[in-house]
């Protein structure tokens, strides 16, 4: 009886719009759990569709393929081939005018995004952002967030999540346990959050707790995947960023927040993390990440990550399988009617 090869706990990017022979060999041998695409990988619908097929062929299974398609300034598939989607902030403004219209517009927007993604073979979207931006914080989150208010954020995020899942696309909530207070961009440096856990529990943690504790005290559906914030919570662990902090994972993410879904690291290439990639990979997995994410497309860097990987097993494998199921079903949807209704709702912002 032939045994299935182990699946390694990684999501990798790739260099360009076509799969290179060396990348194909590496992915075949490494067998990562999934892949992620960026603007450098995207040209036309036909090209993206072929790339997704080629990536899945390297591992011989229907692996999840991720993208960041929030809308606004974080949108990897854009004009002229794909619709320019609104900023999360725009929906927050509509919610202020008419919450019912806003929730419907959000659902339609992300249902339309899901249709675009599934049409080319992409089955997971790193959205929505649940970070609550504060005045004076670095603008890296700002207009990517629906609201600064936890209750309103939860309400609008639920509409986003429902729209994606209805379209057969698995959502990823980010950046657990909350990046909104960061005074620097974690792509460039390591943010330190000095606020006490008691205060964070009343604000930043609430959206993640809502979607992570479903079936306990939450009134919304749980979400199967979350991405870490590369931040230091100095009240809990004043040395290690969340992504490599077992204390934060045990006490906050799995403990206080109660999140039992799959947790992936944010990109290991970001400047917020210090150290070489093999060691960062080992430290992230040892801390509590189920999956590591490495995005820059450098084959040499992917090899370094691979040296620190381990196969998915135990709770991490259970969580990964559950995450995969959220992208299995795509409900019927009239795209033209949906776009027409969405456009009419968004005109309320101009009135």
Q: For residue 122, give both structure tokens.
A: 């992409």
Q: How far apart are CA 79 and CA 83, in angstroms?
A: 6
- According to CATH, what is the number of the domain 8-350? 3.20.20.300
What SS3 state is found at 243? helix
Active site residues: 187, 266
For 15, residues 6+ apart whose C-beta sits below 8 A from its C-beta are 23, 40, 297, 298, 299
In this structure, of 5-14, 212-221, 288-297, the range with the lowest mean pLDDT score is 212-221
Percent of the chain whose predicted confidence (pLDDT) is above 90: 90
Q: How far apart are CA 258 and CA 60, in angstroms?
A: 34
pLDDT at 1: 45
- The CA–CA distances, whole Å, from 200 to 130, 233, 325 equal 14, 10, 32
Cα–Cα–Cα angle for 199, 201, 206, rounded to 5 degrees = 130
Cα–Cα–Cα angle for 167, 84, 14, rounded to 5 degrees = 70
Strands 74-75 and 69-71: antiparallel
> What is the distance of C-alpha 329 from the center of its chain?
19
| Residue extents of the structural domains in the chain | 8-350
Mean pLDDT, range 253-259, rounded to an integer = 95
pLDDT digits (tens, 9 = 90+) for 190-236: 999 999 999 999 999 999 999 986 445 556 778 999 999 999 999 99
Confidence category of residue 4, pLDDT binned at 50, 70, 90: confident
Q: Cα-flanking dihedrals φ and ψ of residue 215, to 5°? A: 90, -10
pLDDT digits (tens, 9 = 90+) for 101-159: 999 999 999 999 999 999 999 999 999 999 999 988 888 899 999 999 999 999 999 99
DSSP 8-state assignment for residue 129: B
Q: Cα-flanking dihedrals φ and ψ of residue 47, to 5°? A: -65, -45
* pLDDT above 50: residue 5: yes
Sign of the torsion angle spanned by Cα atoms 272, 278, 280, 284: positive
- The CA–CA distances, whole Å, from 268 to 65, 71, 297, 345 equal 18, 23, 12, 39
Q: Judge whether 69 and 125 are in contact, CB under 8 Å.
A: yes
Mean pLDDT, range 169-194, rounded to an integer = 93
Q: Cα-flanking dihedrals φ and ψ of residue 161, to 5°? A: -60, -45
What SS3 state is found at 332? coil
**At what angle are helices 335-346 and 88-97 packed, to 10 degrees?**
60
* Its pTM surpasses 0.75: yes
């Amino acid at each position: 009886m032939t045994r299935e090869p182990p699946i390694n706990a990684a999501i990798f990017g790739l260099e360009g719009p076509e799969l290179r022979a060396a990348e194909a060999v590496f992915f075949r041998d490494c067998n990562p759990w999934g892949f992620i695409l960026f603007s450098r990988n995207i040209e036309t619908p036909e090209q993206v569709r072929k790339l997704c097929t080629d990536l899945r062929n390297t591992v011989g299974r229907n692996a999840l393929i991720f993208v960041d398609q929030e809308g606004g300034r974080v949108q990897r598939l854009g004009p002229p081939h794909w619709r320019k989607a609104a900023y999360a902030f725009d929906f927050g403004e509509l919610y202020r005018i008419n919450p019912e219209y806003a929730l419907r517009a959000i659902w339609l927007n992300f249902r339309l995004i899901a249709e675009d993604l599934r049409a080319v073979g992409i089955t997971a979207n790193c959205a929505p952002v649940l970070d609550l931006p504060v005045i004076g914080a670095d603008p890296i989150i700002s207009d990517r967030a629906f609201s600064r208010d936890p209750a309103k954020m939860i309400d609008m995020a639920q509409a986003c999540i429902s729209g994606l899942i209805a379209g057969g696309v698995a959502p990823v909530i980010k950046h657990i346990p909350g990046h909104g207070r960061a005074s620097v961009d974690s792509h460039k440096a390591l943010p330190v959050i000095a606020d006490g856990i008691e205060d964070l529990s009343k604000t930043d943690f609430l959206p993640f707790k809502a979607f992570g504790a479903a079936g306990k005290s939450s009134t919304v559906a749980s979400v199967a995947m979350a991405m870490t914030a590369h931040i230091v919570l100095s009240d809990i662990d004043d040395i290690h960023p969340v992504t490599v902090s077992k204390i934060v994972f045990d006490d906050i993410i799995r403990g206080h927040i109660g999140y039992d879904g799959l947790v992936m690291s944010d990109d290991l290439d970001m400047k917020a993390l210090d150290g070489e990639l093999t060691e960062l990979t080992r430290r992230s997995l040892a801390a509590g990440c189920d999956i590591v994410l490495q995005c820059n497309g450098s084959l040499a860097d992917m090899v370094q990550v691979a040296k620190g990987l381990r196969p998915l097993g135990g709770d991490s494998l259970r969580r990964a399988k559950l995450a995969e199921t959220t992208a299995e079903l795509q409900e019927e949807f009239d795209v033209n009617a949906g776009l027409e209704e969405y456009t009419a709702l968004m005109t309320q912002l101009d009135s």
